[in-house]
Amino acid sequence: MSLRVDDLKVYYRTLRGDVQALDGVTFEIADGEIMGLAGESGCGKSTLGKSLIRLDGRMRHVGGSVTLDGKQLPLGDDRAMNAFRFKSVSIVPQYAMSALNPTRKVGRIAEELLESRGIHFDGVRPELVRRLELVGLSKDVLGMFPIELSGGMKQRTVMVLSTLLNPSLLIADEVTSALDVSSQRAVAEMLVEFRERSYVKSMVFITHDLAILYQAADTILVMYAGRLAEKASSDAVISRPKHPYTQLLVSSLPEVGVRYADRRLEGIPGKPPSLLEPPQGCRFRDRCPLAFAKCAEQPPFVEVEPGHRVACWAVT
Amino acid sequence: MAAPRDLEPATVPQAGVATVGGPAVAVEPQAAAGAPVPAHRSEFVYFALRNWKFVLGLGVVLVFLAAALFGPMIASHAPLEFSGPTDQPPSSDYWFGTTSFGQDVFAQFVHGLRAAFLVGAVGGGIAWVLGAVVGFTAGYRGGAIDDVLNMLTNVVLVIPTLAILIIVSAYMNVHSYAVEAVLIGLTSWPWAARAVRAQTFTLKTRDFVDVARLSGRSTRQVISSEIAPNMSSYLLMMFILLFGGAILIGASLDFLGLGPSESVSLGLMMNNAFLSSALVLGSWWWFLPPGIGIIGIVGGLYVMNVGLDEVFNPRLRET
Amino acid sequence: MLTLDGVSKVYRIGAFGGKSLQAVRGVSFDLRPGEIVSLIGESGSGKSTIGRMILRLDRVTSGTISFDGGDIAQLGRTGTKAYYREVQGVFQDPFSSYNPVFKADRVFAMIRGAYFPGVGNDEWHEKLCASLASVGLGPGEVLNRYPHQLSGGQLQRLLIARALLLDIRILVADEVISMLDASTRIDVLNLLADLKSRGLGILFITHDLSLGNYVSDRTLILHRGAVVEMGATEKVFGDPRHAYTRMLLASVPHLHERWRDRKRNGDLALPPASRDDPAPVLVEVDTDHLAALPGKGEPS
């Protein structure tokens, strides 16, 4: 499978104007690649994840295209996208584990989900049970109500349900953020396991936590203020970041082993620009220690090394 | 564990809570989810005046209020005076015609409006105060106090109010609308108390309540200075509903003949009209004005409330 | 300065309070001036409850919390007010900590009446600016604004400034940065570390081991309401003795070592301890390093 996103623009319509949440984003994901999508609040990563499968209420597809396995996805058309959802592209949305209908047993939720896609539940049930057992849940889970399950269990259930039809692309939106440390590792490893067993071909793993991405993702795409900053293998992004934002971000992460008494970490002063009226040129300019005159022009997202792309004039 | 709250717009919205303006503008604040409108009076007025339901409802109520305030001054006859010919349709002397006892329907109507607003204000007001006090206390204190107040609320809620009011009215020989209003107020507070309690429970868990406690505030101070302002929109809408509800109950009581008989109210007018077979006789000028009066005021209040709900909770607005 | 001795908290739950939930079991430790102690635990470990009990927002079921030798449960209204002059807290959600219908600097006005009654306007403003400066905020950027106009980092700092205005001796920081962006987190964390030099004692409650490791002098690991390991931070993280601590450390994603490259020695398996068990006994395994004896069925 392959995913190609070309100059994608998605804006939010608000009373005060258009929030340019995603402003011309271009990248590819190869077959079997787990791409981590990282960035801070307002960078557009959740918007990107959601626009690949369903634009909600106030989102507007303003430009650009998304091509999955050679077919262009009709992003703007909700009904036409229905044919792709769940079968080709699937999502585990943020707060998914809180979104299970509390008045339904898990088995019923699964049944309704599949029937709504025209899939006969009984035919798929054995596979569903097999997968639940793979992730450490017994088939009794199907007869339980969501409230009887713990956070980690709910998250695993939702992930099994989302990938039941072996989608080409899975979008995992902050699936580990609300979990305890011990469950986080289990869920992150589960994502990789799904890819190993071909339940899912490729994945977009959205999170703010770079460390988890280092563990579970093949490549990391760093976003800032609606634009792409850097994309490279997870090793490269963590050990040899090129974009100043990535560099500052990685160096601000505390790690077990690093203590304040030994080495004081620094953050990034300032805050991201408003996306209602974003600044011209590179959006990181105001906070960037390397900014110079050329930064008034938006840098292109180009390959500076094989498999390593950056959008920064100081690098290219 | 919580993810950085500053994640983009996807936060789960909470019902009955307002934000003004669109979703997160890039930076962290999704504070809106869970917070009512900040006290931007001008913004509130801006949206309120643009909401046709609010404006329409308010307009209707204000028209009737004006009639209640000024009508009795311009009415040429006393409401209960047997001043003129019986059963006359509207004419230049008697704008709304006369009853079958020769009373001026217009005079009765405008005096009745006054009584209606009185009952609404006093009855609704008492219910509002009681409901708020019980609700806040039960919601904030929790525990045994909550259990006791809850039981009390449920008992009063379950009692068939109209039946009690009928019995009390029959024995007490209600002499004025103020007394009737008090009785109504004392029996219609439970649902308000429950609603306030539920909201208080939610607000109590918010950290700003803890911050207030850490600043040395007492329970009473926390409720009045922290919790109540957050519910201002809710409390306002609750008052409007209680106001309208009190008028309705009052009119029902009067219609059943259980209200004060020496004065005039809309319900009593309808009662008299009914008893005098006005419908059969075709004296529409007798029962139509009070009917329209009741429907107009109460309906106007409810429509106003729906409009207010949309103003306070932009998610309900059609954008 | 602050001492907890066998502190437990039991909640009554269920209809009519029939069942009980042991949120905290027999926790003992102390907090000295000029030191940062981390309370590390996952959800349900009771760490926030301990913080709330220290702040007198919840009552202790058994055991004592003493401040300067006096039992805080005995404080009346005036005693509590005086207590809050010395002990304050900052919580996880910056946007929930501010009453949204009022401006953000109201948090200062709230303490002015109670604690600074005679202070004139000019002097008050000076104090405010000094406090804001010590947390790295300019008066122009935060005064007279509503909470939704400020960022999470600014709001958290404002709360710390409020606490500093009172000239406190103990600050309870409950997950104060978990809702902030990565790039602002470290700034607030550095701020807390800097406050140490003012003689402040800080109780840093978190679920994130790397944060605790970065900033604290001593660490307590909580599991289901009880302390399973405690001591100097380097010792607890460098030489974890209890199975739960080891499990936590093994599950944390590192930035320079992949999980799959580490030796797996069964660290991740852990039979769940029950809340109804008595608090585990802590034994000294090294100077300034205590760990609980393994319970029934727990790996050692």
Q: What is the pLDDT of residues B126-183, one digit of tens each?
A: 999 999 999 999 988 888 888 899 999 999 888 887 787 778 777 876 677 888 888 8
Q: How far is residue B157's CA from residue A267's CA, in Å, rounded to a whole number?
A: 57
What per-residue confidence (pLDDT) applies to C172?
94
Contact between chains at C259 and A259 (C-beta distance less than 8 A): no
- The 3-class SS string of C240-299 reads CCCHHHHHHHHHCCCCCCCHHHCCCCCCCCCCCCCCCCCCCCEEEEECCEEEECCCCCCC
Average pLDDT over residues B215-244: 87
- In chain A, the domains with their CATH numbers are 3-88+170-175+207-310 (3.40.50.300)
Residues of C in contact with A185 (CB under 8 A): 250-251, 253, 259, 268
Tokens found for residue B209: 């309540």
Binned at pLDDT 50, 70 and 90, residue B121 comes out as: very high
Cα pseudo-dihedral A111, A112, A117, A123, rounded to 10 = 20
Per-residue model confidence as pLDDT tens digits over A18-77 = 888 888 899 999 999 999 999 888 888 888 988 888 877 788 888 889 999 888 888 888
Contact between chains at A274 and B24 (C-beta distance less than 8 A): no
Measure C42 CA to nearest chain A CA, in Å: 6
Residues of A in contact with C250 (CB under 8 A): 185
State CA C292 to chain mean position distance: 21
Q: How far is residue B121's CA from residue B192's CA, in Å, rounded to a whole number?
A: 16
Enter the DSSP assignment of A313.
T
Show which subunits contact A, needing at least 3 CB pairs below 8 angstroms: B, C
Residue of C nearest to A254 (CA): C210
CA separation, residue C236 to residues C51, C212, C291 (Å): 21, 11, 9
What per-residue confidence (pLDDT) applies to C35?
92
Q: Which residues have CB under 8 Å from B241's CB, separation 6+?
A: B301, B302, B305
Q: Which residues have CB under 8 Å from A216's CB, separation 6+?
A: A34, A36, A188, A189, A191, A192, A205
Residue B314 reports pLDDT greater than 90? no
CA separation, residue B93 to residues A280, B64, B87, B184 (Å): 76, 22, 13, 37
Average pLDDT over residues C206-219: 90
Per-residue model confidence as pLDDT tens digits over B181-210 = 888 899 889 989 999 999 998 888 888 999
Tokens found for residue A98: 């809180």
Residues of C in contact with B36 (CB under 8 A): 100-101
What per-residue confidence (pLDDT) applies to A241?
92
Cβ–Cβ contact B5 with C under 8 A = yes
Q: How far is residue C277's CA from residue C296's CA, in Å, rounded to a whole number?
A: 10
Contact between chains at B7 and A93 (C-beta distance less than 8 A): no
Cβ–Cβ contact B15 with A under 8 A = no
* Average pLDDT in chain A: 88
What per-residue confidence (pLDDT) applies to B319?
40
| Maximum separation of any 2 CA atoms in chain B, in Å | 80
Enter the DSSP assignment of A23.
E
What per-residue confidence (pLDDT) applies to C113?
82
Q: Which of A14, A94, A276 sits opposite B7 (nearest CB)?
A: A94
Asked which of B37-46, B125-134, C255-264 is least confident by mean pLDDT, the reply is: B37-46
Asked which of A227-241, C175-189, C258-272 is least confident by mean pLDDT, the reply is: C258-272
Enter the DSSP assignment of A181.
H
Cα pseudo-dihedral C289, C292, C294, C298, rounded to 10 = -100
Binned at pLDDT 50, 70 and 90, residue C272 comes out as: low
Per-residue model confidence as pLDDT tens digits over C50-77 = 999 999 998 899 999 999 888 888 888 8
Domain C2-86+168-230: CATH superfamily, name plus number: P-loop containing nucleotide triphosphate hydrolases (3.40.50.300)
Average pLDDT over residues B295-305: 91
Residue B16 reports pLDDT greater than 60? no
User: Is the separation of the CB atoms in A180 and A209 below 8 Å?
Assistant: no
- Residue window 227-246, chain B: list those with CB within 8 Å of chain C: 229-230, 232
Contact between chains at B216 and C115 (C-beta distance less than 8 A): yes
Per-residue model confidence as pLDDT tens digits over A278-306 = 888 888 888 888 888 888 888 888 888 89
What per-residue confidence (pLDDT) applies to C271?
62
- A220, A136, A212: which is closest to A174 by C-alpha? A212
Residue B31 reports pLDDT greater than 70? no
Beta-bridged to residue C7, according to DSSP, are C27
Side-chain-side CA neighbours of B26 within 13 Å: the count stands at 23
- C97, C85, C252, C255: which is closest to C176 by C-alpha? C97
Q: What are phi and psi of A200, to 5 degrees?
A: -135, 140
- C213, C264, C222: which is closest to C242 by C-alpha? C222
Cβ–Cβ contact A16 with C under 8 A = no
Contact between chains at B217 and C148 (C-beta distance less than 8 A): no
Residue C36 reports pLDDT greater than 80? yes
Binned at pLDDT 50, 70 and 90, residue A231 comes out as: very high
What per-residue confidence (pLDDT) applies to B128?
95
What per-residue confidence (pLDDT) applies to B192?
92
ipTM score for this prediction = 0.86
Tell me how many residue pairs between chain A and chain C have CB atoms under 8 A apart: 116
- The 3-class SS string of B254-310 reads HHCCCCCCCCCCHHHHHHHHHHCCHHHHCCHHHHHHHHHHHHHHHHHHHHHHHHHHH
Q: Which of B29, B210, B212 sits opposite C148 (nearest CB)?
A: B29
Q: How far is residue A74's CA from residue A69's CA, in Å, rounded to a whole number?
A: 13
Q: Which of C42, C81, C96 sits opposite B207 (nearest CB)?
A: C96
Burial class (CB within 10 angstroms; exposed 0-12, middle 13-18, buried 19+) of A80: exposed
Per-residue model confidence as pLDDT tens digits over B238-291 = 999 999 999 998 888 888 877 777 788 888 888 888 888 888 888 888 888 888
The CB-based long-range contact list for B201-208 (8 Å cut-off, 24+ gap) reads B201/B139, B201/B142, B202/B14, B203/B227, B203/B230, B203/B231, B204/B139, B204/B140, B204/B142, B206/B34, B206/C96, B207/C91, B207/C92, B207/C93, B207/C96, B207/C97, B208/C96, B208/C97, B208/C98, B208/C99
Q: Report the percentage of chain B scoring pLDDT > 90.
A: 24
Asked which of A8-22, B24-38, B109-123 is least confident by mean pLDDT, the reply is: B24-38
Q: Where are the domains of chain C?
A: 2-86+168-230
User: Is the separation of the CB atoms in A167 and A86 below 8 Å?
Assistant: yes
What per-residue confidence (pLDDT) applies to B126?
95
Contact between chains at C100 and B31 (C-beta distance less than 8 A): yes
Average pLDDT over residues A201-209: 91
What per-residue confidence (pLDDT) applies to B149?
93
Residue A97 reports pLDDT greater than 80? no
Contact between chains at C207 and A252 (C-beta distance less than 8 A): no
At C233, which helix (H) or strand (E)?
A: helix C233-238
Residue A146 reports pLDDT greater than 70? yes
Binned at pLDDT 50, 70 and 90, residue B300 comes out as: very high
Q: Which of C89, C94, C95 sits opposite B214 (nearest CB)?
A: C89
Q: Which of A184, A258, A260 sits opposite C251 (nearest CB)?
A: A184
Strand order in the sheet with C201-206: C87-90, C170-174, C201-206, C36-41, C218-223, C226-232, C289-292, C282-286
Residues of C in contact with B229 (CB under 8 A): 99, 101-102
Among A19, A207, A277, the residue to mutate for chain B (most B Cβ within 10 A): A19
Q: Which of C182, C193, C213 sits opposite A208 (nearest CB)?
A: C182
What per-residue confidence (pLDDT) applies to C16?
62
Amino acid in position B191:
W
Cα pseudo-dihedral C288, C25, C245, A146, rounded to 10 = -160
Residues of B in contact with C100 (CB under 8 A): 31, 35-36, 38, 230
What per-residue confidence (pLDDT) applies to A84?
87
Q: Where are the domains of chain B?
A: 43-77+94-316
What per-residue confidence (pLDDT) applies to B244?
92
Contact between chains at B23 and A12 (C-beta distance less than 8 A): yes
Enter the DSSP assignment of C91.
-
Average pLDDT over residues A227-231: 92
User: Is the separation of the CB atoms in C107 and C98 below 8 Å?
Assistant: yes
For Cα atoms A301, A305, A311, give the angle at the middle one, nearest 5 degrees.
20
Residue B10 reports pLDDT greater than 50? no
Cβ–Cβ contact B1 with C under 8 A = yes
Residues of C in contact with B218 (CB under 8 A): 77
Per-residue model confidence as pLDDT tens digits over C111-126 = 888 888 888 888 888 9
Residue B14 reports pLDDT greater than 50? no
Contact between chains at A249 and C182 (C-beta distance less than 8 A): yes
Among C110, C151, C209, the residue to mutate for chain B (most B Cβ within 10 A): C110
What per-residue confidence (pLDDT) applies to B252?
87
Q: For chain B, how many residues are written?
A: 319
Binned at pLDDT 50, 70 and 90, residue B51 comes out as: confident
Side-chain-side CA neighbours of C36 within 13 Å: the count stands at 28
Q: How far is residue A23's CA from residue A275's CA, in Å, rounded to a whole number?
A: 10
Binned at pLDDT 50, 70 and 90, residue B39 comes out as: very low
Contact between chains at C210 and A182 (C-beta distance less than 8 A): no
Show which subunits contact C, needing at least 3 CB pairs below 8 angstroms: A, B
Q: What is the CATH number of domain B43-77+94-316?
A: 1.10.3720.10
Per-residue model confidence as pLDDT tens digits over C5-25 = 889 998 877 666 677 888 898
Q: In this predicted model, which residue has the larger pLDDT, A14 or A212?
A: A212
Residue C283 reports pLDDT greater than 50? yes
Residue of C nearest to A217 (CA): C258
Q: How far is residue C59's CA from residue C53's CA, in Å, rounded to a whole number?
A: 6
Beta-bridged to residue A222, according to DSSP, are A38, A230
Measure A254 CA to nearest chain C CA, in Å: 6
Q: How far is residue C238's CA from residue A92's CA, in Å, rounded to a whole number?
A: 37
What per-residue confidence (pLDDT) applies to A280?
86
